[in-house]
Amino acid sequence: MNIAELGLPMVIPAPDAPARVTIWEVGPRDGLQNEAEILPTAIKIEFIERLAVAGLSIIEATSFVPARWVPQLADAAEVMAGLSPSASVRFPVLVPNERGLNLALAAGAQEIAVFGSVTESFARKNLNRTYDEQWAMFEPVVAKARAEDMSVRGYLSMCFGDPWEGPVALERVVDAVGHLRDLGCTEFSLGDTIGVATPGHVRALMIALRDSGIGLDLVGIHCHDTYGQALANTVAAIEVGVRTVDSSAGGLGGCPYAKSATGNLATEDVVYALHGMGFDTGVDLSALAETSRWMSDILGRPSQSRVVRAMQPYSVQ
Ligand code: MG
């Protein structure tokens, strides 16, 4: 007997359920980019296809960054070429600049994401720009993508704390989202890149965004589990009206052996919680967990997802 056959989780609907929460699956990009051992392109394509079969409707497929930055994703064009077009599944890709956008367009990408920083320190270290200069870098990328009728997601790093600067003021995040909105971004993802947020902080930031005129229907939350807060923080965002959640199948990207790779929230763990709260995600949890077990066999280590581990078949004595 497994947990699904037992009828768990028991569903106690949240006050505003039934409603849908969209999972923005980042495993093939944000998860795999942390893997040192280069996976075959065919495995990446199979991974994405299995995620689609498991019911994920947005799967961030790869990143058109220079291969020297992220060797694992050097086959971005080949991965895109191998995906079957789908009317029901979106395959956004990350692009750092105009060159990346041109490569993404040539590969047939239909939507993109750009990656900005809320803090000065991370803008300098990650983008080699100041906080103010980064918007000028994104401007032609977003403008061209919008002219091509692509939707553009704006990611923001360090929204809840920065490893060099410490706390990040809520107003700073509101300001950065406003810049991305003014550039033409169609939605936003707020990243707790070092995993330091707590639920009240998440709630306060979401309310500050809403009060500034940013609709929470355009906002996604991207939590890392460094301090064990990712699921609680994600649920806090849902409870104030966020309806898009970033997560990574099996918690990929949380390699315990790589210090720089802090754990992404595992998709299975958040789906389990959302289903118990009465939210529809469209995800078949058993099929997803099976996919994560398949991937963890390939990577040669256990899944980081607590739900994947708990759903291993067991006998009731
Ligand atoms: Mg992440």
- Looking at residue 200, what is its pLDDT? 98
pLDDT value of position 108: 96
Report CA(224)–ligand 1 centroid distance (Å).
6
Query: What's the pLDDT tens digit per position in 178-207?
Result: 999 999 999 999 999 999 999 999 999 999
What is the distance between the alpha carbons of residues 292 and 315, in angstroms, rounded to a whole number? 21
| pLDDT given for residue 8 in this prediction | 85
Structure tokens belonging to residue 63: 């990143």
User: Any idea of the CA torsion for 114, 115, 120, 122, to the nearest 10 degrees?
Assistant: -150
**pLDDT beneath 50, residues of the chain:** 255-258, 261, 315-317
Ligand 1 mean position, distance from CA 264 (Å): 5
Left if phi > 0, otherwise alpha if psi is -120 to 50, otherwise beta: which for 278?
left
User: What's residue 315's pLDDT?
Assistant: 45
pLDDT (0 to 100) of residue 173: 98
Query: How far is ligand 1, taken at its centre, from the CA of residue 248, in Å?
Result: 8
203 neighbors 236 (Cβ within 8 angstroms): yes
Active-site annotation holder among 159, 185, 223, 255: 255
Q: How far is the CA of 157 from the centre of ligand 1 (A)?
A: 9
Strands (E), the chain: 22-25, 58-59, 62-63, 93-94, 111-117, 151-157, 187-192, 219-223, 244-247
Domain residue ranges of the chain, discontinuous segments joined by +:
3-310
What is the CA(223)–ligand 1 centre distance, in A?
7
Q: Which CATH superfamily is domain 3-310 in?
A: Aldolase class I (3.20.20.70)
Cα 272 to averaged position of ligand 1 atoms, centre (Å) = 19
- Model confidence over 207-229: pLDDT tens digits? 999 999 999 999 999 999 999 99
Residue 123 CB neighbour total at 10 angstroms: 22
**Angstrom distances, CA of residue 227 to CA of 41, 193, 235, 302:** 33, 11, 16, 20
159 is catalytic: no
DSSP assignment letter at 154: E
Cα 1 to averaged position of ligand 1 atoms, centre (Å): 33
Could you tell me the distance, in angstroms and rounded to a whole number, from the CA of residue 35 to the centre of ligand 1?
Answer: 13
CA of 7 to the centre of ligand 1 (A): 31
Residue 32, token pair as written in the block:
């795999």
- For residues 227 and 196, the answer to whether their CB atoms sit within 8 Å is yes
d(CA 202, CA 59): 24
The reported pLDDT for the residue numbered 228 is 94
Given this model, what pLDDT does residue 161 score? 96
